[in-house]
Amino acid sequence: MRPRVQRVLVVVPARDEEHVLDACLAGLDRACGQVTVPVDVWVVLDACSDRSAEVVARRPGVHSLAVACRSVGQTRDLGVRQALSLVHAHDLRATWLAHTDADSVVPEHWLAHQVDLADRGADLVLGTVTPHGGAAAPATLDAWHDAYAGRLHTDGGHGHVHGANLGIRASTYLAAGGFPHRPAHEDRVLARRVATLPGTVSLATIGAPVLTSDRLLGRAPSGVSHDLRRLEAGTSTSGAEALPTEEQG
């Protein structure tokens, strides 16, 4: 039996995101208000040369960690381990790690949805994303949604993995070795690692989709921006790749 969630840690990697970070944090603030357990929000500033740190400083209670990884996988992992180091007295099985991105806005019920699924027995929760912002052409977004919908299931599950909408029990995270220190696909590799752990429960849900930027040039070398860019060139589908192996980039 898994204990009910007693604490939530939210980790957000950011690299020069001063123009979108405030909206991200505002969304997280609304989501924090929908749960009854303590929530700590951590923004991991990765080699930022803009005013992202000032945006975080204007948000009371939001923690920040400055790193120079230039790797989203390592940035996420360092944020998790820093956050966990300050709550070491808590049962790691009752500590929930929620992940999103600085260019994304979570729905108000995002954390409540993840905590509810965790309390029902989930060790890993994989959510969906919806591109928005007006950067991509309407035809590109239509093609993305058509491809994306092909992996949505009638039972409410799906075949996608996004670091912008992912939650995991802290004990499971550590047992799986955490996010790999790589510049891309760190979320998929973590999901693959969790799937190999005996007795773990992974759950895909469409119940709390996260709005994410539809810009064509993202901070990471792959992801939604990569998919949109390739779709605009007419060469790819959205998010349909299989989980990479540890060796794949």
How many CB atoms neighbour CB 216 within 10 A? Answer: 19
pLDDT digits (tens, 9 = 90+) for 64-87: 999 999 999 999 999 999 999 998
pLDDT value at position 239?
41
Greatest Cα-to-Cα distance within the chain, rounded to the nearest angstrom: 52
Q: Report residue 28: phi and psi, to 5°.
A: -65, -35
- Range 153-172 average pLDDT: 91
Burial of 12 (0-12, 13-18, 19+ CB in 10 A): buried
pLDDT over threshold 50, residue 242: no
What is the rounded CA–CA span in Å between residue 212 and residue 11?
A: 16
Three-state DSSP at 204 gives strand
pLDDT value at position 174?
97
pLDDT digits (tens, 9 = 90+) for 183-237: 999 999 999 999 999 999 999 999 999 999 988 766 666 667 777 777 777 754 4
What is the rounded CA–CA span in Å between residue 195 and residue 213?
A: 29
